[in-house]
Amino acid sequence: MRNGTREVPLWGLILGTVLLVIVASTGVAQILVREVEPPPSATIVRPTLPVANVLESQKTPHGTAPTPPPPPVTPTTPMPTATTPFTLTLPVPSSTPPPAGAPLQDALADITDLTGGAAIAAPPTGMDIATCNLTSGTLGIHELPAPVALLTGTTSSTETLTLWFTLHAPIPAQRTLTYHLLVALDLDGDAATGRPPGDGHINPELGVEIGAGVFLQPDGELEPYIYAWSSTLDDWDGDTPDIMTAQLNAERDGVRFDFPLAELRATGTEISGVTLQMDSLRGRVAVIASSQTEPPVVDFCPDLP
Instruction: Let me know: does 111 contact 126? Beta carbons within 8 Å.
Output: no
Residue 45 has pLDDT above 80, yes or no: no
Which residues, including other chains, have CB under 8 Å from residue 233's CB and lie 6 or more apart?
none
Q: pLDDT (tens digit, 9 = 90+) per residue, 278-301?
A: 889 999 999 999 999 999 999 999
Domains and CATH numbers, the chain: 104-301 (2.60.40)
Give the CA diameter of the chain.
Answer: 195
What's the mean pLDDT in 253-273?
A: 96
Tell me the percentage of the chain whose pLDDT exceeds 90: 53
Cross-strand partners of 164:
256
Q: pLDDT (tens digit, 9 = 90+) per residue, 166-182?
A: 999 999 999 999 999 99
CA distances from 39 to 30, 31, 190 (A): 15, 14, 129
Residue 89 has pLDDT above 60, yes or no: no
- Write down the pLDDT at residue 146: 81
What's the mean pLDDT in 234-259?
A: 95
- Write down the pLDDT at residue 277: 93
Weakest-pLDDT range from 56-60, 134-138, 227-231, 240-244: 56-60
Weakest-pLDDT range from 94-98, 118-122, 135-139, 268-272: 94-98
Weakest-pLDDT range from 27-36, 95-104, 147-156: 27-36
Q: pLDDT (tens digit, 9 = 90+) per residue, 180-226?
A: 999 999 999 999 999 999 999 999 999 999 999 999 999 888 899 99
Q: pLDDT (tens digit, 9 = 90+) per residue, 94-132?
A: 445 555 567 889 999 999 999 989 999 999 999 999 999
Q: Which residue has the higher pLDDT, 281 or 24?
A: 281
The separation between the first and the last C-alpha atoms of the chain, rounded to the nearest angstrom, is: 173
What's the mean pLDDT in 34-55?
A: 42
